[in-house]
Amino acid sequence: MAHEGILLGMGNPLLDISAIVDEEFMNKYDIKLNNAILAEDKHKPMYEEMASKYSVEYIAGGATQNSIRVAQWMLQKPGATSYMGAIGKDKFGEEMKKNSKLAGVNVHYYEDETAPTGTCAVCVIGGERSLVANLSAANCYKSDHLKKPENWALVEKAKYFYIAGFFLTVSPDSIQLVAEHAAANNKTFMMNLSAPFICEFFKDVQEKALPYMDYVFGNETEARTFAKVHGWETDKVEEIAVKISQWPKASGTHKRITVITQGADPVCVAEDGKVKLYPVIPLPKEKLVDTNGAGDAFVGGFLSQLVQEKPIEECVRAGSYAANVIIQRSGCTYPEKPDFH
């Protein structure tokens, strides 16, 4: 069984500001569907504009936090998961704390005095989403917070660690500390490619963390970007997944497994130089609400079984179940209890 604090996540806690928008809005701010970017100055006015022009929903988000909350929901055991990241001392931050506690996650936020809680614009058209993150306080996380005894205790207690690639832009030294701890103590360390821009512009810090990764998650676009950046002459997802799994490892305890989702197409799992494809649960187009959080939910479902030492096909099945639930709702939200057997 999953013991208390078995899974620890670290990342950028963001408040999702979600709305169905139109092409004109997307063009005005130069944003593309199925992408995730960091806000530049030209994007700053879009948050206000969304709130005044469209019907917006505010939902606790941030990639790692989504995955941890979904894993917690699937496990139905309060405190099985923990999470760290930085929020502001403001209304959104308070909201986030309340939300996470209700979800049963043991959160140890660093509360920044100067910056507001980070937000993420979720622009939805035809069920597909585009993400524009304004990190603010989330960008202020420091490894000093991680090293405090009450926080490092969460690291000591956990056996599994999951960190989205987005955190590489904030605190690579925190990632390194956790990665080295995992390798030294035969624990399982996992990351996500997270977005094409991470693979392109944070290549060095990503490569530094890669040897420690026992599981690498990502979607087909991120996998292809990773391959392109590393000069691999292929855009075949199965080949790329194998090559990522064969990247040198810091510790020989676990072999690396690569898990690549492909939307409605089968999930691609590479280990030992071989690939297995697992079909996802089909969903009629009219039932799709939005894809926001689908990849995060997949990881959350997957982790909920992994921490119980279930076989990989069960992990994938749980991931597909969780993603299927989330895409039928707005944002990364879920019903009270899972219906996964």
pLDDT averaged over every residue in the chain: 95
Which run of H or of E encompasses 200? helix 196-201
Cβ atoms of 290 and 330 within 8 Å: the answer is yes
Judged against a pLDDT cut of 90, whether residue 285 lies above it is answered with no
What band does 145 get if pLDDT is binned at 50, 70 and 90?
very high
b/e burial code for range 91-128 (CB count within 10 A of at least 16 → b): ebbeebbebbeebbbbbbbbbbeebbbbbbbbbbeebb
Does pLDDT of 331 surpass 80? no
Asked if the structure places residue 186 within a domain, the reply is yes
In a domain, 194, yes or no: yes
State yes or no: pLDDT of 83 exceeds 90: yes
Least confident of 57-71, 133-147, 200-214: 57-71
pLDDT category at 53 given cuts 50, 70, 90 is: very high
The residues, any chain, with a CB within 8 Å of residue 234's CB and separated by 6 or more, are 227, 240
**pLDDT surpassing 90 at residue 332:** no
In a domain, 264, yes or no: yes
Nearest residue to 191 via CA among 225, 229, 236, 222: 222
> What digits encode the pLDDT tens for the residues 152-171?
999 999 999 999 999 999 99
What is the predicted pLDDT for the residue at 253? 81
**How many C-beta neighbours within 10 Å does residue 134 have?**
22
Q: Is the pLDDT of residue 58 over 90?
A: no
Task: Look at the chain and count its residues.
Answer: 341
- Residue 42 predicted with pLDDT over 90: yes
Out of 112, 214, 290, 296, which one is annotated catalytic? 296
| Structural domain of 234 | 7-13+61-117+136-327
Q: Report d(CA 288, CA 307) in Å as an integer.
A: 29
In a domain, 44, yes or no: no
- 240 contacts 220 by C-beta, under 8 angstroms: no
**Total domain count for the chain?**
1
For residue 4, the 8-state DSSP code is T
Q: Is the pLDDT of residue 127 over 90?
A: no
**Is 254 within a domain?**
yes
Q: What are phi and psi of 192, to 5 degrees?
A: -125, 145
C-alpha 204 chain-centroid distance: 20
Average pLDDT over residues 17-22: 93
Check pLDDT > 80 for residue 2.
no
The pLDDT confidence band at residue 248, using thresholds 50, 70 and 90, is very high
Residue 296 bears catalytic tag: yes
pTM of the model: 0.94
Tens digit of pLDDT for each residue in 193-222? 999 999 999 999 999 999 999 999 999 999
Q: Note whether residue 161 is domain-resident.
A: yes
Strand arrangement, sheet containing 274-278: 106-112, 81-88, 7-10, 160-164, 188-192, 215-219, 257-262, 265-271, 274-278
d(CA 152, CA 172): 16
pLDDT band at 250; cut points 50, 70, 90: very high
pLDDT value of residue 60: 83
Q: Is residue 31 part of a domain?
A: no
- Residue 258's pLDDT band (cuts 50, 70, 90): very high
Give the mean model confidence (pLDDT) for residues 287-315: 93
Distance between CA atoms of 9 and 171, rounded to whole angstroms?
Answer: 13
Report yes or no on 111 lying in a domain. yes
pLDDT value of residue 341: 85
Mean pLDDT in residue range 127-144: 95
Q: Which tokens sit at 120?
A: 């993420």
For the purposes of burial, counting CB atoms within 10 Å of the CB of 133, is it exposed (0-12), middle (13-18) or buried (19 or more)?
buried
Q: % helix / strand / coil in the chain, to the nearest 5?
A: 45, 25, 35
Kindly state the percentage of the chain with pLDDT values over 70: 100
Name the pLDDT band for 304 (thresholds 50, 70, 90). very high
What CATH number does residue 99 fall under? Answer: 3.40.1190.20
Q: Residue 318 has what pLDDT?
A: 98
